[in-house]
């Protein structure tokens, strides 16, 4: 049981994270503590919130083998982005039919290799990609990705992925003619704060499916993408609220196609809160080039774990010593010689006024999109280690 809570603004860790950190004085920072019990708890909560939806873990969020193995035991499936992720899943004994190759940007030889391995589900958003799948994986299922505007998401969405309803309809028909099974997918943007963000794309999917059915096709399924949140600043509704809203929206828009497979691809939601990065304050300064502003430099930064502070997009909760005392604003920066390695400056953080060099600061909910995105040897800093804690046994299959 974990007591990482959402919505109350309090800074809390899981019991496992707490006890690991309490005994971690001898460990060099930075490091990530990843609690499998929290992953299992999140999976169970999502399972309960969306009982009829097939969960595909977006393993790019954290591909640690312990996480993948635990989720496999829990019955989870996997959204994979590359040949490397497919290989890892297969090595861990996961059946290829439990994988969805969700990247819309694939080399044709990688599509071929995935098909040879037994992968049968692919995402596409344009004709060229559809043709690759048709050539290399005949009879497979393609999910045509619809674009969304990403409104309400903390990690910005670009026009890199997806197509509009008109192009999607053409793609779907073309896929049918190529002998492929056709579903629809979309992504409402990562760390999506508004459960209602699923409404508009679900309406688009319904239109797409109407056209498909009218042409004699059978929709293969809908993939609701990712977007479920971790516990950052600001707070978000709990997963039950997302589940209720999404269930209602799916019923309203896609009820006429029932029964239809519904998939979801959480990454951040399942592993974000399971992680905490322990870091050390390397330097505190108040220089005349930025008068009256305190700069706090940590040993973790943009290039060795906190990539998602880019543009100050993800606002991690912090736990500091003396959190009960008086606080004041501070710019937070990483340890490297790179000027871009500044974490929070436009919106400074509030840190204890008596914070000192050598103090340890915990960066909470850092289980997702941290260690896998860290640099190989940026400025001569080794990638931080991950200490995996909690039970690797699934409480229920």
Interface with its own copies in residues 149-168 (CB under 8 A): 150, 155-164, 166-167
* Residue 295 in contact with its own copies, rule: CB under 8 A: yes
For its own copies, the closer CB: 44 or 282: 282
What character string, x for contact with its own copies (CB under 8 A) and - otherwise, covers 204-243?
----------------------------------------
For residue 159, what is the DSSP state? Answer: T
CA–CA separation, 38 and 73 (whole Å): 15
For residue 315, what is the DSSP state? Answer: B
Question: Is 91:129 a contact under the CB 8 Å cutoff?
Answer: no
For its own copies, the closer CB: 52 or 290: 290
Q: Pick out residues in 92-121 that bind its own copies (CB under 8 A).
A: 102-108
CA–CA separation, 120 and 138 (whole Å): 9
Check 89, 163, 327, 337 and give the catalytic one.
337
Question: Is 222:183 a contact under the CB 8 Å cutoff?
Answer: yes
* Residue 383 in contact with its own copies, rule: CB under 8 A: yes
Phi-psi region of 338 (alpha: psi -120 to 50; beta: other; left: phi over 0): beta
Whether 126 is catalytic: no
* Residue 285 in contact with its own copies, rule: CB under 8 A: yes
For its own copies, the closer CB: 140 or 394: 140
Extract the tokens encoding 335: 């340890």
Please report how close the Cβ of residue 13 comes to its own copies at its closest, in angstroms.
24
- Applying CB under 8 A, among 22, 23, 128, 214 the residue interacting with its own copies is 128
* Residue 269 in contact with its own copies, rule: CB under 8 A: no
Name the one residue in this structure whose structure tokens are 């399924």.
Answer: 221
Q: Pick out residues in 58-87 that bind its own copies (CB under 8 A).
A: 58-60, 63, 80-86
CA–CA separation, 42 and 272 (whole Å): 10
CA–CA separation, 113 and 136 (whole Å): 9
Please report how close the Cβ of residue 137 comes to its own copies at its closest, in angstroms.
16
CA–CA separation, 29 and 279 (whole Å): 5
CA–CA separation, 395 and 270 (whole Å): 16
* Residue 25 in contact with its own copies, rule: CB under 8 A: no
* Residue 278 in contact with its own copies, rule: CB under 8 A: no
Please report how close the Cβ of residue 150 comes to its own copies at its closest, in angstroms.
8
For the chain, the straight-line distance linking the first and the last C-alpha, in angstroms and rounded, comes to 17
- Applying CB under 8 A, among 199, 210, 280, 359 the residue interacting with its own copies is 280
Question: Is 219:255 a contact under the CB 8 Å cutoff?
Answer: no
For its own copies, the closer CB: 108 or 194: 108
Extract the tokens encoding 310: 């880019």
Q: Pick out residues in 357-376 that bind its own copies (CB under 8 A).
A: 357-358, 371-376
Active site residues: 337
């Amino acid at each position: 049981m974990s007591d990482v809570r959402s919505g109350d603004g309090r800074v809390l860790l899981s019991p496992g994270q707490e006890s690991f950190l309490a005994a971690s004085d001898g460990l060099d920072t930075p490091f990530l503590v990843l609690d499998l019990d929290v992953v299992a708890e999140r999976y169970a909560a999502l399972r309960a919130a969306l009982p009829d939806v097939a969960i595909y873990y977006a393993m790019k969020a954290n591909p640690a083998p312990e996480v993948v193995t635990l989720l496999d035991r829990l019955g989870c499936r996997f959204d994979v982005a590359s040949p490397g992720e497919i290989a890892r899943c297969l090595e861990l004994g996961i059946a290829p039919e439990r994988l969805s190759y969700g990247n819309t940007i694939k080399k044709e030889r990688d599509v071929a290799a995935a098909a040879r391995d037994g992968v049968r589900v692919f995402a596409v958003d344009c004709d060229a990609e559809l043709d690759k799948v048709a050539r290399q994986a005949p009879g497979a299922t393609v999910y045509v990705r619809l674009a969304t505007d990403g409104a309400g998401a903390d990690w910005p969405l670009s026009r890199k992925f997806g197509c509009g309803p008109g192009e999607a309809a053409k793609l779907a028909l073309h896929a049918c003619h190529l002998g492929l099974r056709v579903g629809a997918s979309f992504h409402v943007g990562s760390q999506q704060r508004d459960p209602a963000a699923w409404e508009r794309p679900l309406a688009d999917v319904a239109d797409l499916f109407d056209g498909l059915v009218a042409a004699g096709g059978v929709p293969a399924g809908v993939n609701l993408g990712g977007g479920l949140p971790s516990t950052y600043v600001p707070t978000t509704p709990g997963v039950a609220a997302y589940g209720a809203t999404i269930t209602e929206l799916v019923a309203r828009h896609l009820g006429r196609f029932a029964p239809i497979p519904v998939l979801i691809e959480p990454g951040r939601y399942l592993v974000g809160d399971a992680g905490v990065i322990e870091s050390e304050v390397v330097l505190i300064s108040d220089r005349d080039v930025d008068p009256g502003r305190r700069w706090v430099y940590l040993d973790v930064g943009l290039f060795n774990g906190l990539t998602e502070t880019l543009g100050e997009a993800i606002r991690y909760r912090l736990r500091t010593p003396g959190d009960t005392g008086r606080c004041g604003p501070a710019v937070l920066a990483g340890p490297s010689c790179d000027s871009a390695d500044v974490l929070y400056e436009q919106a400074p953080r509030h840190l204890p006024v008596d914070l000192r060099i050598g103090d340890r600061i915990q960066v909470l909910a850092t289980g997702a999109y941290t260690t896998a995105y860290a640099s190989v040897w940026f400025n001569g800093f080794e990638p931080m280690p991950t200490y995996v804690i909690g039970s690797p046994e699934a409480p229920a299959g």
